[in-house]
Chain A
Amino acid sequence: MNRQRNSDQNYETLYSGSLPESFPVVKIPKKTSEASIKNARIPHILRSQSIIAAMSDRTNEQWLSDLKNPGPQREAALADLHALVLQAMPYALSRYLSPDNPQFNALAEETAQETLLRVLDRLGTFEGRSQFTTWVYKIAVHIALSELRRRRWRDVSLDELLEDADGQPTEPGWMSTPDPGPEARAEQRDALERVRRIIAEELTDKQRNAVIAIGIKGMPMEEVAKRMRTNRNALYKLMFDARLRLKQRLENEGLEVEDLMNLFEA
C-alpha cells in the first residue's frame, strides 16, 4: 500500500537532484542507421550549442521530407531526433526521476527508441499545427510517463486499492468551520445526506470504483483502465457520464453544486 499516492502528490520521492542549466547533448556517431540507433549505447553526454542549433534548424517540411523515405537523410533525421529526445528527458522527468538515478539512462534510451518508432508510424498524422519537434516531444513524454506509472503501480491490484474504499461517512466537517452553529450544522448534515444518497443511487459500481481509485487513491487512469480491461479514453468517458448524471440529478433536486460547496465552506 506504500505505493499508493494521493491525487495531490506526485512521484517526487523518486526525484532527488538538480537539473543541468542547459540540455545535456548526446554525441551522435557520424554514420547511423535505424538498426544502429536502436542498438546504440550513448557513449557520453556533452554540452554543446552547435548540435542543438543544427538539429533545430530544420523546418517542419524538412523534417517530414527527410523522414518520409528510407536513406541517409532519414537516418540523419532519426539520429537527430534520438538525440533531441535524450536531451529533453531530464526536463520532462524533472518531477519524477533524477538524471542521477540508476534507472534514468535506461528509461531515457527506451523512450527515445520507442518514440522514433512511433514517429515513423504516425508521420502521416502530423498536421503541422505545432513545431515538428514539439509533436515529437509530446510523444516522448507520453511514452516516458506511461512507463513510470506502469512501474510504480504494477504490483497494486484494484481490489487491494478499493479494500478500505473511501472511509466511513462522518459528520460534515471536511470543509466546515469548527462550529457553524446548530442550524447550519443541521442544514449541512441534511445536504450531505442528500448528496450521499444521490451518489449511491446514480453511480454504478464501475463508476464508483473508478472515481475512488483515480480521484481518491490516486491510481493513474491508464493503470485503472488496464485493470478494468478498458482504455483510458473509455474510462474518462465512463467518469464523464457519471459526473453528468450526478450534475443533472442534483439540479433536478434543486441542489446547485456551487451552493453545496458554499454550504460546506461557510
Chain B
Amino acid sequence: MEMLTFFKRWFKPRPGPQEVGDALVRKMLLSLKVTSLDELTCEDTYALLDQFAELVANGEDAACLMPLVKQHLDLCGECYEEYEALEQILVAANKPHPKL
C-alpha cells in the first residue's frame, strides 16, 4: 500500500498555476509581509523564549528589545503557543495568592 502511494506521488504531475488555490496564495502573501533576511529559527527562538517572556511579564517593551524573537513569534504558530503558555504561567506566578 505504501509502495502504491509512493509511485502515485512519484508520477503525479507537478501542479501548474491553475492548481495554486486562493488559500495558498493568501497564506504566502501574508507570510511574505513579515519575511526578512534575518530570521530566527524555532531553535534560536526557543533559546530566548524565557528571556522574552520575562521581559513581557515585567512590562518591558520586549518586541523592541528582542525584535527577531517577536518576528518569529508572529510567523510561527507553535512557538507562539509555547510563548503564550509560558506567559500564562508567569502572570499567574506573579499574582498574589489569597490566604486560605
Which residues of A pack against B, CB within 8 Å? Answer: 7, 10, 19, 21-23, 47-49, 52, 56, 88, 91-95, 129-131, 133-135, 137-138, 141-142, 144-145, 149, 159, 165-170, 172-175, 192-193, 195-197, 199-200, 205, 208, 211-212, 214-216, 218, 220-222, 232-233, 236-237, 240, 243-244, 246-247, 250, 257-258, 260-261
Return the CB mask of B8-23 against A: 1 if under 8 Å, else 0.
0100001111111111
Select B32's contact among A21, A49, A257, beta carbons within 8 Å.
A257
Is there an interface contact between B18 and A94, defined as CB atoms closer than 8 Å?
no
Which of B16, B24, B97 gathers the greatest number of chain A CB atoms within 10 Å?
A: B24
Determine the interface band of chain B, counting residues with CB < 8 A from chain A. 35 or more
Residues on the B chain within 8 Å of A129, using CB: 48, 50-51
Given contacts A138-B50, A142-B46, contact A94 B88 (CB under 8 A): yes
* B2 smallest CB distance to A (angstroms): 10
Question: B81, A145: Cβ atoms under 8 Å?
Answer: yes
Taking a contact as CB atoms closer than 8 A, the residue among A52, A141, A196, A218 that contacts B20 in the complex is: A196
Given A88-B93, A247-B35, A250-B32, answer yes or no on A196-B25 (Cβ-Cβ < 8 Å).
yes
Contact A196 B17 (CB under 8 A): yes
Question: Which 10 A-B pairs rank lowest in CB-CB distance, beginning with the nearest?
Answer: A166-B21, A130-B50, A196-B17, A196-B20, A197-B17, A215-B27, A92-B85, A22-B97, A166-B23, A167-B21
A23 touches B42 (CB 8 A): no
Number of contacts between A and B (CB, 8 Å)?
177
Cβ contacts A to B, 21 pairs, < 8 Å: A21-B98, A47-B100, A91-B89, A94-B85, A130-B50, A130-B53, A134-B54, A137-B86, A138-B50, A142-B46, A165-B19, A166-B20, A167-B23, A172-B22, A196-B18, A215-B31, A216-B23, A232-B78, A240-B39, A240-B41, A243-B35
Q: Which of B49-73 contact A (CB under 8 A)?
A: 49-51, 53-54
Q: Which residue of B lies closest to A172 (CB)?
A: B22
Q: Is the CB of B90 within 8 A of A134?
A: yes
Question: Which B residues contact A (CB, under 8 angstroms)?
Answer: 5, 9, 14-33, 35, 37, 39, 41-43, 46, 48-51, 53-54, 76-78, 81-82, 84-86, 88-93, 95, 97-100
- Chain B minimum-CB-distance residue to A7: B77
Cβ–Cβ contact B89 & A88, under 8 A: yes
| Cβ distance B84 to chain A, nearest Cβ, rounded Å | 7
A250 to B29, CA, bound (A): 10
- Chain A residues with CB under 8 Å of B89's CB are 88, 91-92, 137, 141
Q: Which residues of A contact B24 (CB under 8 A)?
A: 166, 199, 208, 211-212, 215-216
Contact of A145 among B54, B82, B97 (CB under 8 A): B82
Name the distance in Å between A86's Cβ and chain B's nearest Cβ: 12
Beyond A134-B86, A247-B35, A258-B33, whether A236 also contacts B20 by CB under 8 A is no
- Within 8 Å by CB of B86, from A138, A211, A216, lies A138
Cα A160 to Cα B54 with chains together (Å): 40
- Rounded to whole angstroms, the CA-CA distance of A258 and B34 in the bound complex is 10
Give the docked Cα–Cα distance between A250 and B43 (Å).
29
For A140, the closest partner residue in chain B by CB is: B89
Among residues of B, the one whose C-beta sits closest to the C-beta of A92 is B85
A208/B15 contact (C-beta < 8 A), A49-B97, A199-B24 known: yes
Who on chain A is nearest to B33 by CB? Answer: A257
Distance in Å from the Cβ of B100 to the closest Cβ of chain A?
A: 6
A145-B81, A168-B19 given; name 9 further pairs at CB < 8 Å: A22-B92, A52-B97, A94-B88, A134-B50, A166-B20, A167-B21, A169-B18, A200-B16, A232-B42
